[in-house]
Structure 1
């Protein structure tokens, strides 16, 4: 049997995890001296409250080798596909590798460095789960996923620069000017890292829709099976506006909405929204 796992940064909802029988390995989130498990006993809202009260950013950490090893059954014949956040962003990939080696089952464990984050990973995880249900072998699944990685289009538009500044990803001066000028950067993932691409201005309704409409050509040339709207806590009207626009393209079979987990939210802050898909 092929079992599919991902670390918690894939930001898939419980409904999707249950539907596709996907297991999750939670990362750690530390608020000062207190440690939590992403998606288990910490919410982004609690994280934002702590961060604002302490004017500090939470710390995040990969699951330990021992934590990862618990998902494997070395006495079974099961094969495993395990997805991790980009190896350039976290030690998750390496810890999964070491866990498999410690149990001497590395021949049955296929580790996918997603070179991505959030539902950029989730898109790949769901596809792997579909292939597993079709009866594909772990090697066949891993090969197809590797061929899809470069086709994932993951980007987000940021509401506030405060959290990027607190996390050391934006200078104080840039954050100050960006906030004063109401600038909202578009951040895209490529080559396993995050890169600023463009800046938008205006209120949240305007800049979010400007961001989405800039992708119209790419959206119309995306794989039709699904597109994600993933956000870290946005006004429902804005999310619905994005959904209606995607529906108007008459292209996607499924439009899925998910909330970013605490690890991703700790870096991007509230009000961040992304539209993520796989290029055809």
Structure 2
């Protein structure tokens, strides 16, 4: 069997146990607080960001891993038959571009643009692991992963637009109106970009219930091998209720619960939850 290394951006939000078990190296993005730079998930946690935002009314800045960062990682595996790197979507960060530029210095590195974020990217990583385990040729793995990219369905519901407002991704008036009317928007990843989908009204808990039913009920186009519940600081009660609703409407072989990385959390804020799965 050929020696193939899988790497990904840390924003894939996969559990540490899974990463260790499958020897996947992750590349962190950077979080900048008051001119101090931290590595996402290594030097800083989402709770640190939420505390900072509450204390200062400001969000940290985020920065992609540099071309040199990717070069340093890829150079460790020059003796491998191939390195397959799955990147955060190119419309969300310059991570993909930087990884691609670094890859041009190597004969064995293949960079996949996930066109997604969080465990939307994580699905592509897990698929890569399975294809490598099956002994598939590198070119076939890359082709299959690229074909899978548009079939990953990623969405999440945000409790408050305050973080999007602080990050300049929505106006103060929009955020104020949404909070005043108790609107919880569903953000969808479509064609590699974030768009606002259905807008729920009412308590976050009830909005999440409606959202899960809307995404899953009576659908026959879903691949039911796995689904992610990915969240930033949601209560155990909410997560348990989401699991119950998933089981009511679709029978997945595996439900994987993960926490969003600092980079993702800094844009969405606490009390954000999404279910992410694949379509046929």
TM-score, length basis structure 2: 0.95
Q: Which residue does the alignment assign to 1:81?
A: 84
Deviates more, 1:12-21 or 1:54-63: 12-21
| Offset, 1:246 | 1.2
CA RMSD of aligned residues (A): 1.3
Stretches of structure 2 lacking an aligned partner (at least 5 in a row): none
Alignment partner, residue 121 of structure 1 = 121
State yes or no: 1:253 paired with 2:256: no
Cα 1:75–1:181 shift into 2, 3 Å: closer
Deviations 1:36-67 (A, max 9, x none): 10111111001010012111111111111111
TM-score, reference length from structure 1: 0.95
Structure 1: 5+ residue stretches without partners? none
* Cα offset, 1:71, TM superposition: 1.4
Counterpart residue number, 2:108: 108
Stretches of 4+ moved more than 6 A in 1? none
Aligned residues: 277
Q: Which moved more, 1:50-59 or 1:73-82?
A: 73-82
Structure 2 counterpart of 1:144: 144
Quote the offset at 1:249 in angstroms: 3.1
2:9 to 7, 21, 24: 7
> Which residue of structure 2 lines up, in the alignment, with residue 239 of structure 1?
239
| 1:228 and 1:255 in contact (8 A); partners too | yes
1:201: how far off? Answer: 1.0
Closer/same/farther in 2, CA of residues 219 and 36 from structure 1, 3 Å limit: farther
For structure 1, which segment, 199-208 or 215-224, has the greater mean C-alpha deviation from structure 2 after superposition? 215-224
Asked if the contact 1:188–1:194 (Cα under 8 Å) also holds between the matched residues in 2, the reply is yes
Change in Cα spacing, 1:270 to 1:43, as seen in structure 2 (3 Å) is same
- Measured in 2, the distance between the counterparts of 1:230 and 1:219 equals 21
CA distance in 2, matches of 1:56, 1:238: 27
1:206 paired to 2:209: no
Q: Could you tell me whether the CA contact under 8 Å between 1:29 and 1:58 is conserved in 2?
A: yes
1:20 Cα deviation from its structure 2 partner: 2.8
Q: What is the aligned partner in structure 2 of residue 177 from structure 1?
A: 177
Residue 221 (structure 1) shift: 2.9
Change beyond 3 A, Cα 1:130–1:74: closer
Query: Is the partner of 2:224 in helix, strand or coil?
Result: coil
The 1:219/1:232 distance shift into structure 2, 3 A limit, reads farther
- For residue 180 of structure 1, report the CA deviation from its aligned partner: 0.9
